[in-house]
Structure 1
Amino acid sequence: MKDGHVHTFFCPHGTNDKIDDYIQRALQLGYTEITFAEHAPLPEGFIDPTPLQDSAMAHEDLDSYFQAIAEAKQRYAGKIKINTGFEVDFIEGFEGQTTTFLNKYGPLLDDGVLSVHFLKNMSGTYDCLDYSPDDFGKMAEAYGSVEKVHRHYYQTVLKSILADLGPYKPKRIGHITLANKFRLKYPLKKDCTDEIIEILEKVSELGYELDYNGAGTAKPLCREPYPPDWVINEARDRGIKLVYGSDAHQAKELGQGLESMGIKK
């Protein structure tokens, strides 16, 4: 049992739960391995478009983050394998800054996830895809339709897979159907099967992994994992490795979505 995508109190939109709270919960669930994949600091020069600008951890907290995970590894040695990781944002136009960051901090990591949350829009500014239903609705209006938002998202995910971010680029692609977060309020009239299949083909070709993310099951306007079952089946058919991730931002969220995999908590 591995959870490859867990956040911590270093996330400004997360929780005050301590590292120990997460690990104790992980042990209760029978985990043998856990990756703390905190939102890496956003690239230098990028302005977080969310109202509170709280999408990622602060640069000044990096040393404390690494120290906290290192101390936890010592405390729980022999009980659970703990990985130091990041969830790294792919932001179109900031590939150079992201590579520089990874070149500096990549040697300190055991694991990682590469995700898309921000989309570069037609005006050259950025939107946060998953911030709120209202913001998603505004994006759909600005982009022209819900379908156009989804397609732009999948096009950006494909760019993240193809991007040269240096030797420490994470090889696991995070929540590839995150555009579905508000699907019950903003349903697709025409699905994006072709775009998703193209992503899977490239993931398979490059030998990358997929984050099987349980967070969507807990979102009231989603109620399915990222990605859903049909995508999981297509991934398996292509020999793509799937790594479960709770995407927990609180200790109590560890294990969310496991029921969708047929595993009881």
Structure 2
Amino acid sequence: MLRDGHIHTPYCPHGSRDSLKSYVEEAINKGFTSMTFTEHAPLPKTFTDPVPDKDSGMEQQLLESYITKIKEIKKEYQKNIDILLGFEVDYIEGHEPGTRTFLNEYGSELDDSILSVHFLKGPSAYHCIDFSPESFLAAVDDFGSIEMLYNTYFATVEKSVSSDLGVYKPERIGHMSLVRKFHQRFPSPDNWDEPVPKLLRQIAEKNYQLDYNAAGFFKSLCQESYPAPHIAEQAVELGIPLIYGSDAHISNAVGQGFNKINQTLIKG
């Protein structure tokens, strides 16, 4: 089965207006037999989005439309491709109750979802660490060092794995080394991956999956997968399934980077 498990939609406020059909047709044309739409879920009402345009998550009032339209196109193309309905849900330290409430309300509708860390709780503010090099540098300044930022990132991913988000908690951890998005401008600290073995063991113990995300290949300051290649290999050694994801935000990006990842590591 050829599967793209991480795809966004026209409901993404920072993506494109490409139609759902255009994403599906692109997947079919590239030989995929399964795809998951994983739009950014609305952020908890208690959380203030730190990015300038406040556009990190879907608007709450569009949720019912999103679910309805994905179900419609799923039925329309059922003979051509297996379409799964999902979300990319943010884990935000300190706002777990709002996330749990959202999942309790909508989780029964979902086929497949991803749990990701984009936001870190800093000493003075929350930071979106993948928004821009400038915002990343501001986070480094708040944490006091890039070492502290990296440590906090992996500690937060660990909290996402262990958190109680209810029975509908996503079981795939998104782009696990996203903190490396700008590493070619801001070099990662020595031994930056020291927390990884423990984190992978916890993921394995939970029987969770990892998003094997190819979008980093197309980020000029990253140019590697999330997780980084050696982490992906460690994950497979522990029996953690890797699910390829394009993280497409435009329709022609479906399947991007599939030829760049280690396809022998993919389980589905």
**TM-score, L = length of structure 1:** 0.97
Give ranges in structure 1 of 5+ residues lacking alignment. Answer: none
Q: Secondary structure at the match of 2:26?
A: helix
Task: Give the Cα separation in 2 of the matches to 1:92 and 1:233.
Answer: 28
CA deviation string 1:92-120 (max 9, x = no partner): 01111111110000000000000000111
Partner residue of 2:97? 96
1:20-39 paired onto structure 2 within 5 Å: 20-39=21-40
Looking at structure 1, the residues matched to 245 and 133 of structure 2 have their Cα atoms a distance apart, in angstroms, of 23
Please tell me whether residue 249 in structure 1 is matched to residue 249 in structure 2. yes
The SS at the match of 1:36 is strand
Matching residue of 2:191: 191
Q: Secondary structure at the match of 1:148?
A: helix
Distance, in Å, in 1 between the alignment partners of 2:258 and 2:205 is: 28
CA contact (8 A) 1:147 1:191 kept: no
Q: Which runs of 4+ in 1 moved over 6 A?
A: none
Shift in Å, 1:262: 5.0
1:9-28 paired onto structure 2 within 5 Å: 9-28=10-29
Using the TM superposition, name which of 183-192 and 83-92 deviates more: 183-192
Please show how residues 83-232 of structure 1 align to structure 2 within 5 Å. 83-123=84-124, 125-232=125-232
Report the equivalent of 1:49.
50
SS at the partner of 1:153? helix
Deviation, structure 1 residue 252: 1.2
Name the SS of the counterpart of 1:85 in structure 2.
Answer: strand
User: In 2, distance between residues paired with 1:104 and 1:38?
Assistant: 16
Q: Percent same amino acid at aligned positions?
A: 46
1:223-263 deviation digits (Å, cap 9, x = unpaired):
00001110011001101000001000001111122122256
CA offsets, 1:139-184, max 9 Å, x none? 1122122222111111100000000000000000000000000000
Give the aligned residue type for 1:23.
V
Q: Is the 8 A contact 2:217 2:224 kept in 1?
A: yes
Aligned length in residues: 262
1:36-82 Cα deviation digits (max 9, x unpaired): 00000000111100000000100000011011101101210111000
1:192 CA displacement: 2.2
Match of 1:75 in 2: 76
- The TM-score normalised by the length of structure 2 is 0.96
